[in-house]
Chains A and B, each alone.
Chain A
Amino acid sequence: MELAYTPEQQAFRAEVRDWMAANVPARPLVTLEREEGYHQHVAWERRLAEGNWGMVTWPEAYGGRGLDLIQWLIFEEEYYRAQAPLRVNQNGIFLLGPTIMEYGTDEQKARFLTPMAKGEVIWAQAWSEPNAGSDMAAIKTRAVRDGDHYVISGQKTWSSRASFADWGFGLFRTDPESKRHKGLSFILFDLNTPGITRRPIRQFHGDPGFAELFFDEVRVPVENRIAAEGEGWNVAMATAGFERGLMLRSPARFQAAAARLVALFREHRDRASPAAREQVLAAWMGAQAYAYNTYAVASKIMAGGHIGAEASLNKIFWSELDRAMHRTAMQLLGATAELRQFAGDRANDWLEGYIFSLAGPIYAGSNEIQRNIIAERLLGLPR
């Protein structure tokens, strides 16, 4: 066990820090859930790519730097330290990217990964359907084979980024006779294909970050399928593992929020309750615990280990931590918490953050589902 950075790791940190200092926008961008903000965030993705920071752990051949997970953690720490914008392409780089890396053909890797790392194609996800939420195996949307195309008909919902993004990925029923987990395939599609209708959904905060997607005989080339026909469930489970696992929510995000919360507490300490004070400390403690655990998991993976159902432990921890720390901030703000803007035009980002944190225990598989997975697959309890 060695909990210190090598000189090379420190030099890498300095390199990231310098680039971020020179490039992170001075003013926060408009929320990426709104069209104007979406485009600002896409521009930021491209700026990152110019610095070759699109996805540092990917091979150089696909627009990465071939770095290891400890370097990725260092990158993330400097990214959030610099208060850089959220990653509008997170569905691509953190979920679909690793999936293609594992299951895609060489041709698919070349075709999809580099534009993803460069921010040229922004991805939406399309898992849920009106009657397939936590029970994803209830998916009905069909993809019927017609020569070298699939013809897709049906409906997806809660598709993150789909209001504005370029491409989407999801699970479709390619065997119409199949039930549940069988007969599903993992297919990528251009969101501008004729027959796709996007209907933005106003979210809790009022902005249309996700959408419903209607498919009316949409023709998608067979070469857009990842892995074999009917193998979609296993591929999707791997994707879900990436989503819950190491990369989607790096610890730096929560360490940065905890540090901001401590600063907020100092500002409001004269009127803060003793309970709020303890919650602030709990936020710092939780963020640190999450960081150590992530370093431990990264070390294990770098030594050839794997994480499976353990990803569910992670997802529960960060999503409940995030909600608790933002709630604490709202309580510290008192009456001001309801205002969308503070004095002048400064956005109340604690309010934005709190609203977003409410989705955390729901997306990527609700925390109830995660607790079932832990109970059944880690503790061995009966289904």
Chain B
Amino acid sequence: MDFRITEDRAALVDSVRDYLAGVHGVERLRALDADGSARSDELRRGLTEMGLRGLLVPEAQGGLGLSLVDAALIAIELGRAAVAEPLVDDAFVAVPLLIAAGGQEALLGAIATGDARVALQNPVNGWVADLDGATHLIAERDGRLLLDAAPARGEALDSVDPLRRLQAPVAAKGDDVGASDALLDHAALFAAAQGVGLAEAMLAQATDYAKIRTQFGQPIGSFQAVKHHLASAAVAIEFARPLLLRAALALEQGLASAPVHVSHAKLAAADLAWSVGEAAIQVHGAMGYTYEVDLHFWMKRAWALAGAWGDRAFHLARIDAAVIGGSLPIGPAHSFA
């Protein structure tokens, strides 16, 4: 029993954080929004060169062969930097599904090099993010997943998140690559991870602002009412992170209870990012309500991810079935059931 992140892991995560802080600062976000491009070839190349597209791809196919725990920690960093690049969808969500399906070695190798990219259709509402430029689509039909190598394009949907690229459902065809629950669980895990990163970033932005914004002759961060908003956000973040690690490891190990842990992490992270966003806008005052202050990029991503891959009601119902329904052992001797 050891609930620590090893130093190797922490070093990898730090390198990703530093890289993103360097190339994907808020000026870049604003530029991607202003010119409507939303995606950066430079960022995509950089993430590929760091090996992140092959993070979960087995070494035999040219990847790093790391685990969902590593990927979850990196997804926190992607959330922190509000990265809209669809790295998570194919490299972190599709790859484990393709490994489990078997016989997809060539595609896995191509994902690692960036020659292939898999988009995902949300089994709950049929929406697809980042279909443009994707070589493949994984879509749900009757509880199964199909791998479509020539996906049709759907009608564009206009998300509140200025950097999100969504399309309406299209009919998919292709080979069966497994049960759709696995897609939902993996995608929900990584939405949760990004939610934690988004929350941490919004807390940091609001804290920085509270230190420099002066009213009544002193920084507003010296006022208790402001401090307490930020302290409550810090408490919520502290207790959401371990849920994510627990869920990632449960899914990696294929525990029967993994879906409950994923739902718990997703629900907690979505609530967290949502509420920290509200606290952050409050601390920023009227400035927080402007497009000029960058907070809105993070907050809108938080809303989008909160509803994606099973909304609050969906995940609460799964927890309900396990906890009140009785399929999960609960109580003090069952911390790791």
Contact = CB atoms under 8 A, between A and B. Distances in A.
A, B in one complex: yes
Interface in B220-278: 221-222, 224, 226-228, 230-232, 234-235, 238-240, 242-243, 245-246, 249, 264, 267-268
Nearest to A296: B3
Interface string B312-325: 00001001100110
Nearest to B6: A1
Contacts of B232: 316, 371
A259 B329 CA distance: 9
Contact of B238 (A6, A259, A317, A376): A317
Contact of A1 (B4, B207, B333, B335): B4
A276 to B, nearest CB: 11
Chain B at the A interface: mostly helix, strand, loop or mixed? helix
A289 B239 CA distance: 6
A303 B319 contact: no
A376 B211 CA distance: 11
B332 A252 contact: yes
Contact of A374 (B2, B231, B324, B330): B231
Interface stretch (A73-81, A153-161, A224-232): A73-81
Interface string A1-37: 1111110010001000100000000000000000000
A355 interface: no
A299 B4 contact: yes
B256 to A, nearest CB: 14
Interface in A303-339: 303, 310, 313, 316-317
Given A1-B4, A3-B246, A285 B319 contact: yes
B189 interface: no
Given A288-B264, A289-B240, A296 B4 contact: yes
Interface in B284-335: 316, 319-320, 323-324, 330-335
B5 interface: yes
Given A1-B4, A371-B228, 16 more contacts: A3-B336, A73-B335, A77-B332, A78-B332, A80-B332, A265-B324, A277-B320, A277-B324, A281-B319, A290-B239, A293-B242, A310-B238, A316-B235, A379-B227, A381-B230, A382-B222
Interface of B: 1-6, 69, 203, 207, 210-211, 218-219, 221-222, 224, 226-228, 230-232, 234-235, 238-240, 242-243, 245-246, 249, 264, 267-268, 316, 319-320, 323-324, 330-336
